[in-house]
Amino acid sequence: MSWDNEKIRIRLLEAREHLVKALQKLKSSRNWSFLDMFLGGSVSFFADLMEHARFSEALDEIRRAKQIIAQVQEHIGDVDLEVDDSFFGTFLDVAFDNIFVDFLRHGRINKARKKVIEVIRKIDSVLLSLRTNITKEEEKFCPRCKASIPVNSKFCPYCGERQ
């Protein structure tokens, strides 16, 4: 399979989209985690369920992004997307619900968020690099005035020199 810059760019944009969705799910999971920690009581059970559901949905989005990144890995270099998914099981969390378990779980959500943000930044950097390479391939310079002009120009738009 031939991989040109545009195909890599499109796949990375897809991976980035999944990571942005994962970030939204992690934010929701974190919000439910706050409720669980500070409200407790009968709200705690429902908050635990919602928190785990959102975290699970975030992991699904991260797995999709990992699959895409794996496809373009040899063309872009190393992009590490390992997120700790050893999240407490819902049953264990509900059965042994206390502030210490809540804080531990909340920390894992924040760690996952930081990792996803880091990978999004790496993807943005690769996308910028790809864009720069495309731009360099698509430009040439006028031999007379040395201005950067489009490759298919017959005349320099600055000095009028025939190309």
pLDDT in tens, 27-68: 999 998 888 777 766 677 788 888 889 998 999 999 999 889
Task: Classify burial at 22, counting beta carbons within 10 Å of its beta carbon; exposed 0-12, middle 13-18, buried 19 or more.
Answer: buried
pLDDT at residue 61 in the model: 94
Would you say residue 158 lies in a domain? no
Check if the beta carbon of residue 141 is closer than 8 Å to that of residue 148.
yes
Residue 98 DSSP SS3: coil
pLDDT tens-place string over residues 62-96: 999 988 988 887 777 666 656 555 544 444 444 45
In a domain, 149, yes or no: no
Whether 147 is covered by a domain: the verdict is no
What residues contact 80, with CB distance under 8 A and at least 6 apart?
119
Residue 139's pLDDT is 63
15 CB-contact burial (10 Å; exposed 0-12 / middle 13-18 / buried 19+): buried
Domain for residue 31, yes or no? Answer: yes
What's the whole-number average pLDDT of the chain?
Answer: 78
Residue 87 lies in a domain: yes
Residues 32 and 50: their CA atoms lie apart, in Å, by: 7
Residue 157 inside a domain? The answer is no
Q: Check whether 17 has a pLDDT greater than 70.
A: yes
Which pLDDT score is estimated for 88?
45
- Report the pLDDT value the prediction gives residue 65, as an integer from 0 to 100: 92
Residue 51 lies in a domain: yes
User: What's the domain range around 116?
Assistant: 5-138
Residues 49, 40: Cα–Cα separation, whole Å: 13
pLDDT confidence of 137, banded at 50, 70, 90? low
The total number of structural domains in the chain stands at 1
Q: In this structure, how many other beta carbons lie within 10 angstroms of the beta carbon of residue 157?
A: 10
